[in-house]
Chain A
């Protein structure tokens, strides 16, 4: 194993796409890969598997990929562990990257586990920070463990590639450079459909959710302190007034107040909105790890000593059920005032008359 460093070179990112629609986490990872690659003085490559996915290539290059490996074949139309794993491992064994990054999504984690086992190498899941040990030239993958109670930095010293998955929204979206070009390598990998054991029959997309929880700029989350259906109604109303989306902690989900798909935290989703409301959430570490990237946090809780109140930008001691109606009313009024003000200003501009409101 002494000469692994020479044989394996470059940072790779798995391109996650669904029927030609690229997942944002891929671009976030290209940005992160760029940093690691510059420390190691190597290139960033992306691996694109799919069916009629050529249109994605320019985007990958513009966001920072130096190279794109493409296998375009109907057998890769939908993600399937059995096809993607084989094609991906084929490319890894042929081109030998030293680091492999994938999104910690249901697709990325599914693929990563299968690839790492097949290649007999180390994989670190759900990393929140990646770095390079410059002396040893190895990947330092940090992640929360034991429900977020501690952080651990994991290394994979003697095996290559070093693999890691990262959740969406953990790394920053890089700024694209328009018309940036790179090398595109089109590969072939033959798999007979008849030899496969799994078939994706159809994809059923979530309905009535215009903005995904992870993409929302404003998230209004409730916990055990929301207490009942009435509390949920107030939570939803506040979200509507603010133009945000509803989330929840495990406490609210276990009481069947909030849809499990809207859980924020270690076993739910990671969010990093501009504004996060934690209403009636005490702030177990498992919840906090899912929202600590939020710009502004508002906590409302009856217990001034709970962890959520201690990390919030602004905290209010009190009962959510009595404060929420007041908050909704005050926001309604204040936001409509601002809107009216802006509208008047625009009118003034059109007339060319400047008046001060």
Chain B
């Protein structure tokens, strides 16, 4: 089975510091990491490979530094990686990003057919969850988003059965292969990488593709191919602070209960 995983290098949003005066992000302080949901997608692909055999390929779009996340995936057990990097790709929104990634995936498929495409359910910098469905649409594959468990494969019938999270539980879905799956974190636990993988990763250089490696429609790339644009950036509204209850624990507990008890009876289930 050949599984291709789409990964993104993201700033660790929990570490972003804001400049309180200019309200701008200080990107230099935020380390870059593999998008956490994508790490679970890689893990799932590697686990399936261990059970069923085959190959795990990685694809990422980003600046040259994004090769670091591909190396991270090699460390996790992936076999090869492709980095789509070109100035022409810069400024792409989700529509244009899915075009570029789909173009890259098709090129991989041309030499080595793909059974499954994996993505994280969303990236923690944009949080849009749009690129996965976008790629599926462009490749003409069924899309299965928010997957929290892969139940079974039936290779004779060429289908997969999986659990897709919905708002009040999950649905059990069967899909023909090839298909595109976006994963939740609870699909697996990340495992530790063996030393041999780390050594391989340290030396690994991903295959780099730029604009000249494709016959692409330039109008669909980068800023030009992006229907959305940012009109304005502003700091989130701050909720006004309230009252700090002071005194002994017994005293503050009593004060709080007195303040709230009237409302609570109305709000109870």
Against B, the Cβ 8 Å flags (1 = close, 0 = not) of A92-118 are: 000000000000011101101110111
The docked-state distance in angstroms from the alpha carbon of A213 to that of B128 is 22
> Are the C-beta atoms of A338 and B13 separated by less than 8 Å?
no
**How many residues on the A side are at the interface (Cβ–Cβ under 8 A)?**
99
Decide yes or no whether A184 CB sits under 8 A from chain B: no
> Are the C-beta atoms of A218 and B264 separated by less than 8 Å?
yes
Against A, the Cβ 8 Å flags (1 = close, 0 = not) of B115-142 are: 0000000101111111111101110001
The docked-state distance in angstroms from the alpha carbon of A198 to that of B226 is 30
On whether A146 and B169 interact (CB within 8 A), knowing A112-B130, A315-B245, A322-B249, the answer reads no
Decide yes or no whether A39 CB sits under 8 A from chain B: no
On whether A274 and B263 interact (CB within 8 A), knowing A110-B145, A152-B230, A155-B231, the answer reads yes
- Distance (Å) between the CB of A158 and the closest chain B CB? 7
On whether A110 and B146 interact (CB within 8 A), knowing A267-B124, A323-B249, the answer reads yes
Decide yes or no whether A18 CB sits under 8 A from chain B: yes
- Chain A hits for B235, CB < 8 A: 150-151
- Chain A hits for B268, CB < 8 A: 217-218, 242-244
- Chain B hits for A105, CB < 8 A: 166-167
The docked-state distance in angstroms from the alpha carbon of A242 to that of B23 is 39
Against B, the Cβ 8 Å flags (1 = close, 0 = not) of A330-357 are: 1100110011001000000000000000
The docked-state distance in angstroms from the alpha carbon of A316 to that of B240 is 16
- Determine the interface band of chain B, counting residues with CB < 8 A from chain A: 35 or more
CB closest residue in chain A, given B12? A147
CB closest residue in chain B, given A241? B264
- Distance (Å) between the CB of A147 and the closest chain B CB? 3
- Distance (Å) between the CB of B35 and the closest chain A CB? 11
> Are the C-beta atoms of B165 and A316 separated by less than 8 Å?
no
Ranked nearest first, the 5 interchain pairs of A and B with the lowest CB-CB distance are: A243-B268, A113-B133, A147-B13, A122-B227, A217-B267
Point out residues on A near B: beta carbons under 8 Å.
18, 23, 78, 81-82, 85, 105-107, 109-110, 112-114, 116-118, 120-126, 140, 144-159, 168, 197-206, 210-212, 216-218, 242-245, 260, 266-267, 273-275, 284-286, 288-289, 292, 296-298, 304, 309-318, 322-323, 326-327, 330-331, 334-335, 338-339, 342
Can you offer 12 A-B residue contacts whose CB atoms are under 8 A?
A105-B166, A114-B137, A116-B134, A117-B133, A118-B137, A150-B23, A152-B233, A156-B228, A210-B269, A211-B269, A318-B252, A335-B264
